[in-house]
Every structure is written in structure tokens, then in C-alpha cells.
Copies of this chain bind each other. A is one copy, B any other.
Amino acid sequence: MLRKERLRLILKEINLHNKVLSGDLSEKLSVSEDTIRRDLHELAEEGVILKVHGGAVSKAFNYPFDGDNKVYALKAKQQIAEKAIRLFKNDMSILMEGGTTIIEIAKMIPPNLRATFFTVSPQVALTLAEHENIEVISIGGKLGRNANIHTGASVINELAGIRVDLCIMGANGISMKDGLTDSDWEIVQVIKAMLRSAKKTAVVSIAEKLSTVQKIKICEFGFINYLITELPPGNARLSPYKSSQLVKL
């Protein structure tokens, strides 16, 4: 059998079943596993499959959402993400909310970080799943209408049962006087539960949201350990925000 022929069969098998094991292919195609590995390596180089320990998986299956969506204020959010990942250390457990900023953080996690992530956002879960060394646990529940966040009593329940080192959350309104606020009651309930589950909490937000207030209160600033914006920590617009334990990044 020609090598090319074999490569094509492997590709077909992967597209058909979403994943293959080197051992199975070796048996089916009557070549050594070494050869299969070399084949998979080549297909992965071409970018048509995704090689994993033990075999390979279909790429289309793993990235069906690599879309065209433009993110508002992407650059600022990436700057925020760069700062946020400095808080991550090996073997931490980290709870992530949802939103475009937090997805940017998830994308930017260094590949060698070894940690456990909890999240209430399917998008964040999928983004996190692309990293080899991290374990992803979705807190499931009713998918909220407005934001793509799991909400409802089951989420609150599950969150009550976990304890993480760090919680990363966004906030729609940030002001020193009124604390963190949002406009969606369901989401506020979830965020409150997240706060209770975390030893430390970081709030990420583009500067544009500073000094804005939404209808529903999440918490006072006293509960927040880190405030991360795209501004340098010394910027005048951040000077109103201070509390005994607040660190600006």
C-alpha cells in the first residue's frame, strides 16, 4: 500500500470517527505503530488533524467555532489578559466567569500552566479546552438568554460546593461608591455565588466601564482583591479605587 493511500485512509477514519488510536490503525493497516505515528505527525504538520497522546482527533470537531466574530475593544482586552495571567500559578484552581475579556484571558494562558479551571461559560470552557495541561470543569445549568452563561439554582448549588484559589470575573458597572453592579438579576446571583466560592477575586474590565453603575448590585469593593484594566496601575482614572486589600494591575 502506498504511503499516500494510507494517509488518506487515516484522514478518512479520523473524519469519520472524530478520533483514532495509533494502535488500532497499526492493526488495521498492517504497519508498525511507529509508521502510524509518523503518518499522524505529517498530517498534523499539514494542519488537517490534531495529534494527541495515543492517536489523533479531528480538527473540525475541536474548533467548530473558530469564527469571524469581532471583539469590541480587542486590544484593550488583550492587554488586560496579559496582566491577568500573571496571577495564575501551577496547581491553582481558578473559577472563570464569562464574557469576551475572559475569553481573551483563556486564550492567552501559557501552554505549560498546569491548573484546574471551573467556569459557568460554555465558550470559556471550549477555549480552555484547547490547552493541554489544564483540567476544565463546566458548572452546568440553564443557559442564560442574554449572556451565554449558565444560571439558575443548580449553578448556585454547585458553586456552593467548590472552593477555588482565584475567581476571575467581569463587571458591567464599576464605581467606588456603588461597588460592582450589573443589569441581569440571574447573572448577579451567579457572580455572588462565585465570590463566596473563591479565596481571592480579580475583576477585569475595560476602562470604559469605570465609573458606570448598573441597576443591580453585586458587592462592595472591599470583596475584591485585584482590579485589572488596560490602564497602568498609576493612572489617574484608577486613583478613586482603593481599599485595604485592593491591588491594581
Contacts and interface: CB of A to CB of B under 8 A. Distances in A.
Contact of A54 (B2, B8, B18, B70): B2
A136 B61 CA distance: 21
B100 A209 contact: no
Interface string A125-163: 110110000011111111101111010000000100000
A123 interface: yes
Contact of A2 (B55, B60, B71, B143): B55
A54 B185 CA distance: 15
Interface stretch (A9-17, A217-225, A239-247): A9-17
Copies per complex?
A: 2
Contact of A19 (B50, B69, B147): B147
Contacts of A129: 143, 148
Contacts of A123: 64-65, 122, 126
A81 B209 CA distance: 43
Contact of A17 (B11, B54, B158, B214): B214
B21 A2 contact: yes
A64 B57 contact: no
A147 B61 contact: yes
Contacts of A17: 172, 183, 209, 212, 214
Nearest to A13: B212
A39 to B, nearest CB: 13
Given A4-B50, A18-B147, A61-B148, 9 more contacts: A2-B19, A2-B53, A4-B61, A122-B125, A126-B148, A128-B143, A138-B142, A138-B143, A140-B150
Top-9 shortest CB links A-B = A140-B140, A15-B72, A122-B122, A136-B143, A138-B140, A4-B52, A17-B172, A122-B125, A139-B140
Interface of A: 2-5, 8, 11-12, 15-19, 21, 24, 47-48, 50, 52-55, 57-66, 68-73, 99-100, 103, 122-123, 125-126, 128-129, 135-143, 145-148, 150, 158, 172, 183-184, 206, 208-209, 212, 214
27 contacts: A2-B21, A2-B53, A2-B55, A3-B52, A3-B54, A4-B50, A4-B57, A5-B57, A11-B63, A15-B65, A17-B183, A17-B212, A18-B147, A19-B146, A19-B183, A57-B146, A59-B69, A60-B70, A60-B71, A61-B99, A64-B103, A122-B138, A128-B143, A136-B143, A137-B141, A138-B142, A140-B141
